[in-house]
Chain A
Amino acid sequence: MRFSPVRFFPIRSRLALPAALMAVVLLSALSMAVGTGDIPWRLLLTDPGAGDLLLITRWPRTAALLLAGMSMALCGLIMQQLTQNRFVEPGTAGTVSSAGLGLLVMGIFWPAAPVAVKMLAATGFALAGTALFLLIVSRLPLRSSLLVPLVGIMLGAVVGAATVFLAVRFEMLQSLVGWMAGDFSAVLRGRYEVLWLSGGLMLLAYAVADRFAVAGMGRDVAVTLGLNYRATLALGLAIVAAVNGMVTVVIGTLPFLGLIVPNLVSLMRGDSVRGNIPWVCVLGGGIVLACDIVGRVVRAPYEVPVGTVLGVFGALLFLGVLLTDRAHARP
């Protein structure tokens, strides 16, 4: 008998999603209010210069957090549909480390490149890495649902080792560590806008959600239902790679986000892809905002990168799922 969590955490109320949205808005407000340097709230309406701090540092940071969190969580959902595996996300499929390699290659050969070019390079590498992952997975003799993320983590480790080797060779190890930290403290006006593109990608994903749902039933079913399976796979891959390219360039890594958010949402609501997308986005953005606030408050005036907080939080949740729930992993 399959464990059916939907019955245990039913979210049926029509008010649930608006309520969750409100919570995220409140978190955003909190996120804008927290930080070094006091914002002269009282002067905001009267003094035109008073809002500068807010506009130059606080708003960009909050927006970047939301965009990155939402889109990375959505990437996890798409990848889980395309691989039919609950444990796959950009970090367990070689996508993130490939994007990092792309970023490093740009740093070595064209350090002065504009952000858009760096992003394209990272996207290209992410695409290649994920495609390689899918190729390996398609050749696995035994389709154990747990073997798939294992292969992905290993592939990520190998690509990561190659990246570190190059970084040591060209004396860029410190920069690399800084780039990949999942750090929003350097997000300022003029340095994050490329992330807005991910908003467009999210809308695109929502528009074609039903195709991902069909693809999630496997190649055979998808073809029987008349879906162009390869095209859907390619589109999903492109979206995932592009989002990872952007997020890696602007922020670095957000470990486990793509894994925990879709799994939590499916625990709460079951597995309707289209219906889950808004929830995945809301929850993804909310978790990243919350982790960022924790990271800023816990050791002020120093900052703990959101990636580090997520690493702890996400690994704990992942372990919990792995060790307690045995029906979950078996297809």
Chain B
Amino acid sequence: MIEVRNVSKVYGARRVVEDVSFTLPPGGVVSLIGPNGAGKSTLLSVMGRLLPADGGQVLLDGRDVAATDSAALARRLSILRQENHFVSRLTVRDLVAFGRYPYSGGRLTAEDRDRVAEALAFLDLTALADRYLDQLSGGQRQRAAVAMVLCQNTDYILLDEPLNNLDMRHAVAMMRLIRRAADDLGRTVVVVIHDINFASAYSDRILVMKDGRLQHDGPPAEIMRPDLLEAVFEIPVQVRQIEGQAVGIYYR
């Protein structure tokens, strides 16, 4: 279980995250939505101990992530940030294999290799496994980065905009995969996401942030309401039920 307790983060004079609290029981997909600059990515980084909180704490099964041994934590919780630029010239397989570092310390066992192959297959990357990252398209690189995180084989997975750079086919494939990771493997996945309809279609729970604060928290049916979305995103949004799915329409 992840408990976020009164977390705040300040950059200079700007309060980017302000007094956010919620609890994530194990299992399920949780989407984090909100306008640009709402503090979603910052909150995710604090949860993944990439950034220290300026107030409050994040507990994983009762232990503060900032104080837990980082190597042990890397076997329980993985996080993928948006910018993934590497100076090392790596193949896709090399990169994905780094996901096994928390277990192998860089010396791959046969089991590690199997896991790497699985993750590559999961993300439809087997054919590209020996290509260098700098020869790939943005979407392919994004999938490679997600494969690395998957390979880390953790109970909790935090993904910051995993749909970045993906076309429709791969975006849907990515969301299905996230769903499957939760349903079949019992993982808990938190995704920062911009497309409210993906959030609506795939998550069990949606957290809405604005101006650094957590404004709403509930299942998709509760969040996908025109008045709520309009207040958050400051544009008119209509919501239609299509094939049992709440779909927001906001393009014109």
Determine whether A and B are in direct contact in the complex, meaning some CB atoms lie less than 8 angstroms apart: no
